[in-house]
Amino acid sequence: MATIKDVAQAAGVAPSTVSYVLSGSRKISAETRAAVQAAVEELGYHPNAGARSLRSTRTDVLALALPLSGTGYLPVGGRFMYGLSEAAGRHGYLVLLVTPPGAGDAGAGLERAARSRFADAAVLMGVEMEDPRVAAMRVLDFPVALIGHPADESAAPWTDLDWEESALASVRALRDAGHRRVLYLATVEEDVDTRRTYSVRGIRGAERAAAEAATHVDVCHSSGDPAELYRRLDARFDAADPPTALAVQHPAAIPGILRHLAARGIQVPRDVSLVAVGSFPEDLGGLDVTRIELPVAEMSAAVTRLAAEAVEAAGDPGRSGGPSARHRLIPPRMIRGSTVAPAP
C-alpha cells in the first residue's frame, strides 16, 4: 500500500508537503498542489487510519452503542444503523457498532472503544432516563450524543422525537373524533422497566392526555409475546366499558393486533379506531394507518451534528465549563390514514 513517502517521492516534494496539501491547512502553490494530487491519484493513496489517529487523535469514526436487542423495537435499531451510517458519512465519519456487554456493567464494549480511541465520540441508542453510559463516558472525557431524551436534559447533547407530545397528539386526535375511552398501548414492558426514554415519555404523554380531557385513557404495557399481548387486549375488550380507540406505541405488533381483533369480530375503524405512535410504514404491513412516524433520517442527521460538535468542543479549551447540552426535540407530525373514524 502506498504511503505518504511514496506520494512525496512521486511528486518530488517532502512528505510534510503532501500532508499539508491533503489537510489544506497551509498555503501551497498551485503547481505543487497539482503534482501532489496527481501522485495521490496515481498511487491510489489513502492515509493510514492508524497513523493518522495516533498522531492527530482524530479517528473520523463514531461509535454507535447499540441497545440490547430482544425488545419490541428491534427493527428500529436497523433503521438507525442505516440512517446514522449515511448521515455520518456526509460528515466524513464512519460508524463503528458497539454491542452491549452480556451483563451488568453498562458500557464495557463502549468503554473499551472509548479508552482505546477506536472513535472520536459515541452515539447512544436505547437511552434510559438516567443512563449510566452518560456518566461513564463523562468520566473518560469522551464525547457523546444521545438518541433519546434523558431526564437530565443538560447531561449530554441529545435528539429525539417528542414522544410525550406524540402520545398526547395521538390521544387528542382520537378524542377529537369523539372517542371517550382510549386504550394507550405503550412499549413492551422490558422497555418500560428499564426506563427507556421513549417508553417513559410516551406514557407520560398518555397520562397528560388523560388528565386534561373528558376522555378516559387506560395505559397498558405491550408484550413481545403476542399471546400475552392478546390476553391483555382481551381483558380490556371483555370489560364492561371496552375502549373505542387504540393508540399503539408498539407498531410492529399492529398487524397482529388487527388480526386478533378481527377474529373477535372487531373491525378497524368500524368498531375501533387506531393511531400508531412512532412507526415506519413497513411496520404496518402496508396498512394505511393514521400515525406519527419516527423521523429516523432527521434524528440521524441531528445526532451526527451533535456528535461532531461534541468532538470539536472536546478539542477546544473553552469547553471545560461542562457540557453545552445542545439538543433537538422533534415535534410530532401526524399522517392521516384510514384507521380513525368517529366514535360509535
Partner DNA sequence: CTGAAAGCGCTTACAG
| Residues in contact with DNA by the rule CB under 7 A | 1-5, 12-17, 19-20, 22-23, 25-29, 31-32, 45, 47-48, 51-52, 54-56
> Does residue 99 interact with a second copy by CB under 8 A?
yes
* Whole-number Å distance between alpha carbons of 339 and 343: 12
Per-residue x/- track, 284-323, a second copy (CB under 8 A): -xxx------------------------------------
> Does residue 259 interact with a second copy by CB under 8 A?
yes
Burial 284-312 (b: 16+ CB within 10 A, else e): beebebbbbbbbbeebbbbbbbbbbbbbe
Q: How far is the CB of 255 from a second copy (least distance, A)?
A: 3
Q: Select 14 or 262, whichever has its Cβ closest to DNA.
A: 14
What letter represents residue 159's amino acid?
T
CA torsion, ordered 102, 107, 111, 113, to nearest 10 deg: 70
Question: Residue 36 is placed in which grid cell?
Answer: 501532489
DSSP type of residue 183: E
* Whole-number Å distance between alpha carbons of 223 and 220: 10
Binding-site size for a second copy (CB under 8 A) equals 51
Chain centroid to Cα 266, Å, comes to 34
Task: Say which entry of a second copy, DNA, none residue 338 contacts (CB below 5 to 8 A, set by partner kind).
Answer: none
Q: How far is the CB of 317 from a second copy (least distance, A)?
A: 18
SS3 for 145? strand
What letter represents residue 123's amino acid?
V
Q: Select 9 or 324, whichever has its Cβ closest to DNA.
A: 9
Contact residues toward a second copy (CB under 8 A) are: 1, 44-54, 59, 61, 64, 66, 69, 74-75, 77-79, 81-82, 85-86, 89, 94-99, 109, 112-113, 115-118, 140, 226, 252-253, 255-256, 259, 282, 285-287
